[in-house]
Copies of this chain bind each other. A is one copy, B any other.
Amino acid sequence: MKNILAAQSGGPTSAINATLAGVITCALTSGRVGKVFGAHGGIQGVLEERIIDLGEKIKNAEDLQLLCQTPAAALGSCRLKLTDESQYKKIIEVLHRYEIGCLVYIGGNDSMDTVEKLSAYCMQHKIDDICIVGAPKTIDNDLMGTDHCPGFGSAAKYIASTFAELERDCSAYAAKSVTIVEVMGRDSGWLTGAAALARQNSGKGPDLIYLCESVFDSQMFLSDIRNKLRNQNSILIAVSEGIKDQSGRYVSESEGEKALDAFGHTYISGAARVLECLIQNEIGCKTRSIELNLMQRCAGHLASDMDIQESKLLGIKACQAALDGENGKMAAIIRTSDEPYEVTYKMVPVSLTANKVKTVPDDFIDPNGHDVTDKMIRYLKPLIQGNAPVTFENGIVKHISLY
């Protein structure tokens, strides 16, 4: 029986380890796999032969559960993009040495580029004893070929819950105030749109939402705020980190907004910080900027159960497909209905996904450019349902370490 290898790549998420748990689950139960190996540090770990026997780390169902509730890449990650044939050759050598018949690579569009290149290399060189498949992952939700991405639902749930809580906090005082919250997403506004989910359960949520898909006009922005301030004291705003002006320049790079550090060097502020200054100067009320920063992608304690379950199923699907001899494919979620929420899982060619970016469609964005539409809410809502089971010990979440 051949062995199988799993590896993780790209930015950490709260759900990427559930996909790994899915791969292990499928391998353990298939009766067609020898050992389950993990590469430490993505494809770089394969190149450098940092191979872990996962059977020594994951011994029972409790370990699998701990893996699911551990955020960030439990196998470690990398951002290496394969560029030359000697790398492919070395990787195949390592796979052969460990008698690996299947490689499941869990990652984003760069990682799917790796899957595409490696499977093409195998095909070209008639290497038919290795199947290479991908499983998607990214909080950004910007992968083509799948309805949504593992990791996104949990990040969206954290963002929605946090906006609901921030709204409570910011509205406690009677003074006029503006709070701008910067959400991850340099090229797509999916996560920023998820802030709108905070309005459910009769919450007021963010008053204004600016996605990076729309041109950001600072005069319109100030006018939107002035309008809101006429009728309420506290304004809560969600902005994508990647909002850009008419000329396509990132707001975070605006002239004059650069800070000088102790050595006179400049650094670039975040978009929210730039807007904080703008409001302070132009409107003059109390203003605060907040970055949700890494917390939005690693808050495993508040992971979406739907996300974790789907992530696991995609891991199972990808592993199953590789065992069945599929190559150069990625496990994907195909949505068939919003309400009731229904999906199917299928393998799609990685070429659909590799190096591409899926932005938020126009009809998900309010024509005024300062909110999302009900259509986006309907799309987002199922993805944050349920609280993933999480074991606590000593008052904090329990995690597992694989290396």
Stretch in A221-229, A239-247, A382-390 with 4+ CB within 8 Å of B: A382-390
B residues less than 8 Å from A255 (CB atoms): 262
Q: How far is the CB of A19 from chain B (nearest CB, A)?
A: 15
**Which of B79, B197, B291, B399 is the one whose CB lies under 8 Å from A164?**
B399
Q: Is the CB of A200 within 8 A of B160?
A: no
Q: Is A254 interfacial (CB-CB < 8 Å)?
A: yes
B residues less than 8 Å from A170 (CB atoms): 294
B residues less than 8 Å from A264 (CB atoms): 256
B residues less than 8 Å from A137 (CB atoms): none
Encode contact with B along A258-294: 1 for CB under 8 Å, 0 otherwise. Answer: 1111111101010001100110110000001011111
CA distance A41 to B12 in the complex (A): 42
Q: Is the CB of B290 within 8 A of A263?
A: no
**Which of B162, B172, B280 is the one whose CB lies under 8 Å from A73?**
B172
CA distance A162 to B293 in the complex (A): 12
Encode contact with B along A1-44: 1 for CB under 8 Å, 0 otherwise. Answer: 00000000000100000000000000000000000000001001
Known: A259-B259, A262-B277, A290-B291. A169 touches B72 (CB 8 A): yes
Interface centre among A71, A78, A174, A399 (most CB of B within 10 A): A174
**Which of B160, B166, B278, B393 is the one whose CB lies under 8 Å from A262?**
B278
Known: A71-B169, A166-B298, A202-B401. A269 touches B262 (CB 8 A): no
Q: How far is the CB of A201 from chain B (nearest CB, A)?
A: 5
Q: Is the CB of A398 within 8 A of B201?
A: yes
Q: How far is the CB of A182 from chain B (nearest CB, A)?
A: 11
Stretch in A113-121, A300-308, A328-336, A356-364 with 4+ CB within 8 Å of B: A300-308
CB-nearest residue of chain B to A397: B161
Q: Is A368 interfacial (CB-CB < 8 Å)?
A: no
Q: Is the CB of B396 within 8 A of A200?
A: yes
B residues less than 8 Å from A203 (CB atoms): 396, 399
Q: Is the CB of B164 within 8 A of A396?
A: yes
B residues less than 8 Å from A169 (CB atoms): 12, 71-72, 294, 297-298
Q: Is A70 interfacial (CB-CB < 8 Å)?
A: yes
| Known contacts A201-B393, A263-B277, then 7 further A-B pairs from the complex at CB < 8 Å, ordered by chain A residue | A41-B173, A70-B168, A79-B173, A161-B396, A165-B301, A201-B394, A255-B262
| The 8 residue pairs across chains A and B that have the minimum distance between CB atoms | A261-B277, A259-B259, A384-B395, A72-B168, A200-B394, A169-B298, A165-B298, A72-B169
Q: What is the interface of chain A, defined by CB distance below 8 A to chain B?
A: 12, 41, 44, 70-73, 76-79, 157, 160-162, 164-166, 168-174, 179, 197-198, 200-203, 254-265, 267, 269, 273-274, 277-278, 280-281, 288, 290-295, 297-302, 304, 381, 384-387, 392-399, 401
